[in-house]
């Protein structure tokens, strides 16, 4: 499977994984892990920014369907899709990206992945929890949820990368 | 005009971002205050059936606890059956009580999706308009009040949980009969706050808190919890009452939707009051 069908399949998989598995886990301490930002992060390098945002928006909507959040996930997903091109440029390797390869940990290195994914996750979570609580007096909860959830999400991202996105064997 | 188009083209990405962001946030913030959801929630067919499937798989884990709760409930109900009572005084005759009329019907439902650790929590149940559920019906569990129906589709309904900032259930404290509104202010799924009770009213710690049933959503006297903490609010003649919920919202599986047979009558009457004023 390549190209569009692969991406659509992946999108559905991530939405369902978020809705049925990760959204149902209750860790306590305000931890809400979110896996679907990984899908947005791993869309091909040459995806045009507008397409990227529309795809992210609908992914977020899909998650909203499950979580009864009425557009909150869509908003956060949209934000990280908007900053993704700029972020990738910031961490681009010396000779730029090879747009045929996927933006994954095995292709671009552990350091690159943790930097890019870490910043994406933190922005996503802070935005999400800021809007969810939406008052300054709850800043301790916002901070706690954002930091702890970011750590858990990053760990889940790395585990998914290690398990499912191995480096393809060279012939 | 050409300059405008050139300008729009340059900022196309940003414009798309702003427009989509407005749609998402507009939906998020407006739907929090006005109940006009139809789209962004689990009451729709696709996610509803997926969640029921998940529920089918995981329900066996909770069977034991569910059975125990049902037995307790049966025990309570059996206590109310007249056959189980013997007349203390043989001279009294049996009175067929016709004063009482059935006012609340209960529709059983299973929770298929729920949250408790967010600021506003909702849960989805597997009964919808096909079973006669309508918006704004009360939802209770065998242990206490849990929420109000927020949106209904043909087979599912989304319930605004008692753990929602704008839940505002009218409640009173046993003994004093002082009443106020239940609100979810602190982020603790075991506790809610009872606001609006004047601090010249004596309230005991440990007193039970019941729903007042003022909107007709709940039967008068449906259990909510017990008074756990009592503090005067600074600068206001009010109590800050923390209520410990009798239903642990983290373990919610089976609920009843309360259908008030006289709801329309009540609404009509209360609407008239506004007109008369």
**What is the spatial distance between Cα A146 and Cα A153, in angstroms, rounded to a whole number?**
10
**What is the spatial distance between Cα A24 and Cα B57, in angstroms, rounded to a whole number?**
14
Q: Are A40 and A52 in contact (CB under 8 A)?
A: yes
Residues of B in contact with A79 (CB under 8 A): 21
Q: Which of A70, A73, A89, A130 to mutate to test the interface with B (most CBs of B within 10 A)?
A: A70
Nearest residue on chain B to A60, alpha-carbon basis: B24
Residue in A57, A65, A133 closest to B47 by CB: A65
Q: What is the mean pLDDT of residues B67-79?
A: 78
Tokens of residue B262, six digits: 């006289």
Does residue A57 belong to any structural domain of this protein? yes
E strands, B153-262, where? 157-161, 169-173, 179-183, 191-195, 208-211, 223-232, 239-245, 254-260
Does residue A40 belong to any structural domain of this protein? yes
pLDDT confidence bin for B33, thresholds 50/70/90: very low
- State what percent of residues in chain B have pLDDT above 70: 86
**CATH code of residue A8:** 1.10.1760
B54 at A interface, C-beta within 8 A:
yes
* Tally of domains in chain A: 1
Q: Domains of chain B (ranges plus CATH)? A: 2-33 (no CATH), 37-82+107-277 (2.40.10.350)
B38 at A interface, C-beta within 8 A:
no
Nearest residue on chain A to B32, alpha-carbon basis: A70
Does residue A30 belong to any structural domain of this protein? yes
Q: What is the mean pLDDT of chain B?
A: 80
Q: What is the mean pLDDT of residues B233-254?
A: 85
Q: Of the candidates B195, B199, B202, which has an alpha carbon nearest to the alpha carbon of residue B177? A: B202
Give the per-residue pLDDT at B101.
67
CA A34 and chain centroid, separation = 7
Q: What is the end-to-end Cα distance of chain A in Å, rounded?
A: 19
**Phi/psi of residue B229, nearest 5 degrees:** -140, 145
Nearest CA distance, B9 vs chain A (angstrom): 12
Q: Of the candidates B178, B104, B177, B189, which has an alpha carbon nearest to the alpha carbon of residue B140? A: B104
Q: Is the pLDDT of residue B53 over 80?
A: no
**pTM attached to this predicted model:** 0.70
DSSP secondary structure code for residue B177 in this structure: -
Does residue A171 belong to any structural domain of this protein? no
Q: Of the candidates A52, A129, A37, which has an alpha carbon nearest to the alpha carbon of residue A86? A: A52
Tokens of residue B230, six digits: 């009592």
DSSP secondary structure code for residue A21 in this structure: I
pLDDT digit of tens for each residue in chain A (171 aa)? 467 888 888 888 898 888 888 887 777 777 888 899 999 988 888 888 888 889 999 999 888 888 877 788 999 999 999 998 888 888 887 777 777 778 888 778 888 888 889 999 999 999 998 888 877 777 888 888 899 999 999 999 889 888 887 766 655
- ipTM of this complex prediction, to 2 decimal places: 0.81
Does residue A143 belong to any structural domain of this protein? yes
Q: Is the pLDDT of residue B269 over 60?
A: yes
- Count of CB atoms situated within 10 Å of the CB of A156: 17
**Phi/psi of residue B259, nearest 5 degrees:** -105, 120
**What is the spatial distance between Cα A25 and Cα B93, in angstroms, rounded to a whole number?**
58
Does residue A170 belong to any structural domain of this protein? no
Give the domain range for residue A49. 3-164
**Phi/psi of residue B156, nearest 5 degrees:** -135, 165
Least confident of A146-155, B84-93, B182-191: B84-93
Give the per-residue pLDDT at B143.
84
Give the per-residue pLDDT at A87.
87
Residue in B17, B31, B41 closest to A53 by CB: B17
Does residue A169 belong to any structural domain of this protein? no
Does residue A75 belong to any structural domain of this protein? yes
pLDDT in tens, B109-151: 888 888 887 888 888 888 888 888 888 889 988 888 999 998 8
């Amino acid at each position: 499977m390549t190209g569009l069908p692969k991406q659509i399949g992946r999108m559905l998989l991530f939405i369902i994984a978020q809705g049925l598995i990760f959204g149902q886990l209750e860790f306590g301490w305000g931890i809400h892990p979110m896996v679907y930002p990984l899908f947005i992060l791993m869309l091909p390098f040459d995806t045009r920014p507008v397409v990227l945002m529309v795809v992210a928006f609908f992914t977020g909507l899909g998650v909203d369907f499950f979580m009864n959040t009425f557009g909150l996930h869509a908003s956060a997903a949209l934000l990280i899709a908007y900053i993704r091109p700029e972020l990738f440029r910031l961490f681009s390797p010396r000779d730029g990206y090879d747009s045929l390869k996927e933006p994954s940990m095995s292709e671009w290195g552990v350091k690159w992945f943790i930097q890019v994914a870490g910043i994406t996750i933190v922005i996503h979570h802070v935005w999400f929890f800021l809007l969810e609580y939406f008052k300054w007096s709850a800043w301790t909860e916002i901070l706690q949820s954002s930091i702890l959830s970011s750590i858990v999400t990053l760990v889940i991202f790395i585990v998914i990368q290690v398990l499912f996105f191995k480096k393809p064997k060279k012939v | 005009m050409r300059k405008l188009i050139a300008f729009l083209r340059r900022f196309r990405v940003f414009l798309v971002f702003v427009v989509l962001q407005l749609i998402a946030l507009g939906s998020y913030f407006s739907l929090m205050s006005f109940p006009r959801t139809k789209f962004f929630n689990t009451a729709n067919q696709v996610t509803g059936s997926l969640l029921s499937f998940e529920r089918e798989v995981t329900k066996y884990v909770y069977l034991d606890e569910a059975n125990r709760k049902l037995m307790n409930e049966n025990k309570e109900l059996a206590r109310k059956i007249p056959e189980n009572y013997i007349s203390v005084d043989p001279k009294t005759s049996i009175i067929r009580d016709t004063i009482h009329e059935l006012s609340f019907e209960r529709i059983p439902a299973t929770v298929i999706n729920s949250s408790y650790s967010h600021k506003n929590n909702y849960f989805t149940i597997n009964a919808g308009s096909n079973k006669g559920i309508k918006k704004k019906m009360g939802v209770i569990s065998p242990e206490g009040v849990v929420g109000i129906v927020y949106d209904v589709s043909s087979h599912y309904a989304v319930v605004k949980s008692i753990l929602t900032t704008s839940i505002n259930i009218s409640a009173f404290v046993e003994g004093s009969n002082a009443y106020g509104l239940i609100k979810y202010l602190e982020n603790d799924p075991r506790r809610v706050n009872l606001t609006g009770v004047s601090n010249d009213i004596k309230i005991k710690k440990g007193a039970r808190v019941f729903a007042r049933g003022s909107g007709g959503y709940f039967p008068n006297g449906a259990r909510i919890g017990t008074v756990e903490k009592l503090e005067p609010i600074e600068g206001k003649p009010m109590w800050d009452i923390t209520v410990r919920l009798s239903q642990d919202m983290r373990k919610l599986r089976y609920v009843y939707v309360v259908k008030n047979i006289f709801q329309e009558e009540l609404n009509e009457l209360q609407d008239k009051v506004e007109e008369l004023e």
